[in-house]
Amino acid sequence: MKFCDHCGSMLVPDKSGKKKLVCMNCGKKIPLTGEKVVLKEDIKEKDKVEVVDAEVEVNPKVDMECPKCEHTKAYTWALQTRASDEGETRFYKCAKCGNRWRVYE
């Protein structure tokens, strides 16, 4: 059941058009659209950043302490996010235990 966002009355199917609802009270017509799932797809896009698994051993080793085993060398690489104003995300992978983490720059 849907209600008019203008006056709050119940909406009924519009007789003239198939994909419309019309307000019983004020006559406002509201197009019937499918429920959008765009939001879920956005989340999936973000998850991709998590599963990036580059051939990290070819990346430069830097002095960086692993938060897991406290080893002081880690491979590093950067990933540019699609929104350019977000800057890049820098990834690290511990050269000893393989633990991976990331730092926003």
User: Which residues contact Zn ion (rule: CB under 5 A)?
Assistant: 4, 6-7, 9, 23, 25-26, 28, 66, 68-69, 71, 94, 96-97, 99
Q: Cα dihedral sign for 90, 93, 94, 100?
A: positive
Least Å distance, CB 32 to Zn ion, is: 16
Nearer of residues 71 and 81 to Zn ion, judged by Cβ: 71
Between 31 and 38, whose beta carbon lies closer to Zn ion? 31
Measured CA to CA, the distance from residue 14 to residue 4 in angstroms comes to 13
Half-sphere exposure for 30 (CA within 13 Å, toward CB) = 20
The catalytic site residues sit at: 85-86
Residue with Cβ nearer Zn ion (29 or 48): 29
State both tokens at 21.
């609802």
Amino acid 63 reads D
